[in-house]
Structure 1
Amino acid sequence: MSKRIHGLAIAAAFALLMPALAAADPIVGVWKTEPDRKNLTSHIKITACGKSFCGQIQSAYDSSGKEVQTPNIGKKLFWDVSSQGDGAYGGGEFWVPLINVDAVPQMTLQGDTLKVKGCEHHLCAHQTWTRL
């Protein structure tokens, strides 16, 4: 096999493997948020989106644990977030539904806890999510 064909074969194999590597990342899964200002918690599904990660609002619950319907269910909460190593994730954008702004996300994964922070200029909000 020529060096060029061998190189193309390696590149093709790597391209096929990249989504599988992202899908195996420990951030992938369903996470429960802390209660928001309306005292609702949400379940956020984090998946691999190409070479990065995105999160979608899967469901919402009131303080008694009863599932409630909100217009935000099914919407993307963040996108284009990438692993920065050592449990740190960042880049991309984070949508903050309660105030309808986009923020720069920073996430830190420690076991089954995900610390999520979003900043818009000098204003920041943060939550700790738990894996379901």
Structure 2
Amino acid sequence: MKRMILAAAMGLGIAGTAMADPVLGTWKTQPDDGSYAHIEMQKCGAAVCGKIARTFNDGGEYKSPNIGKTLVIDMVPNGDGSYAGKVWRPSNDKIYIGKMNLSGDSLALRGCVAGGLICSKQNWSRVK
């Protein structure tokens, strides 16, 4: 009986690990005017959200007033490595239609207007 319980518990643990969303973790944004950030992607309900964890410029790490703010908002996985939700652009304080595509340790992120017809994109790389 103890072996059955132990086996069931181990099975659930392995299944829980296998079911973790592959986009979770820390990502480095594409540099913009020499500055970039580390975004911590975490579950937020059934979706994924990303908060600004660290910021860097030509002089190294600095404390931005945007640290802790949510940049990737309610990205819902489509099951094929793509996600749909919203993104916040700190430079103009606007929220856009967001799309992400995961490919290994690369994450293509787009912020779009006009129903997704006009998009700006960045390629992020996995930190951990």
What band does the TM-score fall into relative to the shorter chain? Answer: 0.7 to 0.9
1:50 to 45, 53, 57: 45
| 1:94 has 2:90 as partner | no
Alpha-carbon deviations, 1:74-120, whole Å to 9, x = none? Answer: 10002211101211011x32111112110011100000000000012
Question: 2:57 maps to what in 1?
Answer: 62
1:17-36 superposed matches below 5 A: 24-36=20-32
Note the C-alpha offset of 1:63: 2.6
Contact 2:86-2:99 within 8 A present in 1 as well? no
1:21 deviates by: 7.3
Report the CA distance between 1:71 and its aligned residue.
1.0
* Distance (Å, rounded) in 2 between the aligned partners of 1:61 and 1:23: 32
Following TM superposition, the consecutive aligned residue runs of length 4 or more in structure 1 with deviations greater than 6 angstroms are none
Number of aligned residue pairs = 111
Amino acid in the other structure paired with 1:83: P
The separation in 1 between residues aligned to 2:56 and 2:112, in whole angstroms, is 25
42-51 vs 78-87, which deviates more? 78-87
The answer on 1:116 being equivalent to 2:112 is no
Provide the TM-score with structure 2 as the length reference: 0.79
User: Between the two proteins, what is the percent identity of the paired residues?
Assistant: 39
Normalised to the residue count of structure 1, the TM-score between the two structures is 0.77
CA–CA distance in 2 between the matches of 1:104 and 1:75? 17
What's 1:106 paired with? 99
Post-superposition offset of 1:22: 9.7
Q: 1:88 to 1:23 in 2, by over 3 A?
A: same
